[in-house]
């Protein structure tokens, strides 16, 4: 019977395999511990990697074709994304430069406005207001986190962004639309997670989803999107008692806490769909760089999960792809393709950074 179970799991007949599992369990042909071991063994061989890098490449290629067809060939100005970088944080500088480069590769006009780390909250808000008033700017992205001296003003600064240009969807107005189910887009990382679940045919409706982490950027936002699609959602956080008791009930488990290897296989229900949002650097002297990148989920999770996002090449690349998709969506809400709007002109910075 065990070899039969292994066969149907490895040949993709998962539903029938689960039926056999519960049938065997019911009639007590095998004891529970043995069955759990068999399930873990089967998922070890059958676990599907939900590769966000491959999916993000497909999305970016689609955006590139869309812009080529609807803007370049018609000699219309394409969407424009402006990133605001405050301070000199090395990681933020690399991340913003990567976004700008990838945006141009898909045909989106992109440039970065930089402010000194000593810039005041008013100076940042003045720059945002200037960009709000430029018709040529489709989307504004404020790179977070801000320098420490501005951390207490973060929400105030974010809310200066015109909601119609808020590509990260983090203004209070846009978050209200998200939770009221009245938005056309959502925060990039949360949207990226949902795209991954759809691409790899993860069943959402009627399933139990547990989200570890309650940030606006990921936890609360992805919880709202899961609710919209009919999942029963539980949000866990640092104050949750007996976290494992909650996570082991999850058909879909999403972790976004920024703690390396936080979730292990003992916290995961066999057969769960697992999304690892974490990107953490841990010291590893065996690596050339002296560190390695790991997620919030331990490698052992792959032994019990039916589907799992890798780190790296999981959620991270999807965040950038959805940033570009949001930029195009917001641009076309303001300038519908069926109407040629004379206000859709290229700004000076855009002229320097993009050629039709």
pLDDT at 36: 53
90-129, pLDDT tens digit by residue? 889 989 999 999 999 999 999 999 999 999 999 999 999 9
Give the whole-angstrom CA distance, residue 288 versus residue 210: 36
Per the structure block, which two tokens stand in for 58? 């497909």
Nearest to 74 by CA among 356, 350, 331, 347: 356
User: Active-site residues: which are they?
Assistant: 99, 143, 168
Region for 340 from its dihedrals, namely left if φ exceeds 0, alpha if ψ lies in -120 to 50, beta otherwise = beta
Say if domain 48-53+187-316 classifies as CATH 3.40.50.720.
yes
The pLDDT tens digits of the residues spanning 308-341 come to: 999 999 999 999 999 999 999 999 999 998 755 4
Neighbours of 247 (CB within 10 A): 22
CA distance 267 to 270: 10
The DSSP bridge partners found for residue 82 are: 111, 140
Tell me the pLDDT tens digit for each residue of 193-203: 999 999 999 99
Q: Do 60-186+318-353 and 48-53+187-316 fall under one CATH topology?
A: yes
CATH architecture entry for 60-186+318-353: 3-Layer(aba) Sandwich (3.40)
**Given this model, what pLDDT does residue 31 score?**
54
Using the predicted structure, report yes or no on whether residue 10 has a pLDDT greater than 90: no
Q: Angle 90-106/52-67 helices, nearest 10 degrees?
A: 50
Q: pLDDT tens, 47-80?
A: 899 999 999 999 999 999 999 999 999 999 999 9
Please report, for the chain, the start and end positions of each structural domain, with discontinuous segments joined by +: 2-46, 48-53+187-316, 60-186+318-353
- Residue 236, SS3? strand
What pTM was estimated for this model as a whole?
A: 0.83
| pLDDT level of residue 33 (50, 70, 90 thresholds) | low
**Burial of 312 per CB tally in 10 Å (0-12, 13-18, 19+):** middle
Q: Which residue has the tokens 């529970």?
A: 32
């Amino acid at each position: 019977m065990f070899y039969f179970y292994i066969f149907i799991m490895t040949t993709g007949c998962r539903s029938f395999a689960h039926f056999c599992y519960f049938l065997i369990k019911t009639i007590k042909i095998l004891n529970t511990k043995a069955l759990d071991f068999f399930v873990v063994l089967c998922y070890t061989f059958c676990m599907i990697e939900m590769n966000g890098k491959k999916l993000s490449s497909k999305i970016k290629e689609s955006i590139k074709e869309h812009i080529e067809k609807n803007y370049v060939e018609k000699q219309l100005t394409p969407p424009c994304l402006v990133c605001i970088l405050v301070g000199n944080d090395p990681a933020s500088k690399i991340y913003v430069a990567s976004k700008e480069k990838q945006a141009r590769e898909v045909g989106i006009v992109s440039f970065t406005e930089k402010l000194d780390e000593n810039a005041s909250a008013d100076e940042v808000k003045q720059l945002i207001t200037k960009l709000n008033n430029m018709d040529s700017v489709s989307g504004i992205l404020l790179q977070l986190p801000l320098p420490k001296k501005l951390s207490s003003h973060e929400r105030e600064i974010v809310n200066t962004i015109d909601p119609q240009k808020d590509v990260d969807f983090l203004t209070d107005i846009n978050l209200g639309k998200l939770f009221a189910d009245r938005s056309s887009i959502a925060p990039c990382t949360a949207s990226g997670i949902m795209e991954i679940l759809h691409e790899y045919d993860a069943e959402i409706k009627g399933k139990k989803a547990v989200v570890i982490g309650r940030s606006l950027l990921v936890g609360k936002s992805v919880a709202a999107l899961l609710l919209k699609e009919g999942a029963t959602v539980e949000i866990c956080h640092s104050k949750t008692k007996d976290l494992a008791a909650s996570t082991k009930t999850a058909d879909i488990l999403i972790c976004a806490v920024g703690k390396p290897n936080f979730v292990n296989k003992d916290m995961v229900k066999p057969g769960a769909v697992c999304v690892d949002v974490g990107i953490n650097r841990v010291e590893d002297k065996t690596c050339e760089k002296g560190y390695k990148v790991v997620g919030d989920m331990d490698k052992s999770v792959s032994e019990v999960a039916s589907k799992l996002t890798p780190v790296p090449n999981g959620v991270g690349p999807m965040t950038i792809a959805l940033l570009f998709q949001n930029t195009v969506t917001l641009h076309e809400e303001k300038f519908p393709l069926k109407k040629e709007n004379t206000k859709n002109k290229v700004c000076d910075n855009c002229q320097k950074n993009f050629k039709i």
